[in-house]
Structure 1
Amino acid sequence: MRVRMAVLLVLAMLAACTREPGPDPAAAPVAKPEPVQPAQPAQPAGGADAVQQPALRVTTLDGNTFDLAGQRGKWVIVNFWATWCAPCLKEMPELSALDAMREHIVVVGLAYEETTTDELAAFMREHPVAYPIALVDVYDPPKDFAAPRGLPMTYLIAPDGRVAKQYLGPVTARMIEEDIARAGGPKPV
């Protein structure tokens, strides 16, 4: 019984990554990470601080500008992730396939970690995706999006620019396509 409980605890801790920006980890005391559950079925985004039509304008690794306002008419997946987050890396191929295979879906990845653009570009050469990636400052994240409580953190933006859903933890292409269909978008193929 104890072994089973220990295995369940380890699996829960590995389900999603959490990491807070801060001072040099070698100088800080090691804190026990809080387990984060896998993404729950999509919940409506909201709350007192929610921005109904968030703005997002970032420079991507390829030097282009991704502007959320320029994506009106499409469903947009805004995915906060990090190179050290195993669940983030696991969901990237599915997000890449959605971006490449669905004309009504656009994905943008926001690398939420302390690294350099050169290091991130090298990482992306080893883990390529079809969608644009931007490095965001963990101390100054995009103003209209809450700082992630854990990673991955994903927002589903409707064609009118409103936040339709928010997910904490890994997502699948099926989850996203089903939520789009429930919100009146195209049904999954």
Structure 2
Amino acid sequence: MKFLSMTLLATIVLSSCSNDDDNVPTVVNEEEVITTITATFTPVNGGAPIILRSYDADGDGPIAPVITVSGPFATGQAYHGAITLLNELETPAGNITEEVHEEGVDHQFFFQSAPSIGTFAYTDADANGRPIGLAFDYTASATAVSSNLTITLRHQPNKAAAGVANGDITNAAGETDIQILFSTVVQ
């Protein structure tokens, strides 16, 4: 009986001791809530910018986003592009653009259209010299075309995979933070 009492007491004492590793806080990098994406295409030779915007009033909720395109792209025209991301569920609105830039090694935008509306070239880079896509150059197709442009933000893509640094999403892997389809026209 005495042996059982000592065993029980030892078990209680040992189980109440905690491992120091249990007290180390775990850093959780929560996924960004993005309600608004704005892609601004400013003509290199001057003129009014073309603005592509998606606003989703409830984030990932059941309400469909409102997607707008301010006008057509001009054939053969060169544009400087910039993307802004907001979380408008917060007051004031949270600027997710800064977070994506700071965590650039874990993010990359992709621009896809079929038929092609032109060419995109990244003009920003992360700490490893690989593209992010918050800033880019775009040259519109030399011929008139109507097409859907899909802008995708990937979280933790494999930026070293074949073609990814040039904007090919095929081998990127990772998780999609946001993906918006814009109906665009080049004329």
Give the TM-score category using the shorter length.
under 0.3
As a proportion of its length, which structure holds more helix? 1
Greater relative CO, 1 or 2 (CA 8 Å, sep 6+) = 1
Which structure has the greater CA radius of gyration?
Answer: 2
Taking structure 2 as the reference length, what is the TM-score of the superposition? 0.26
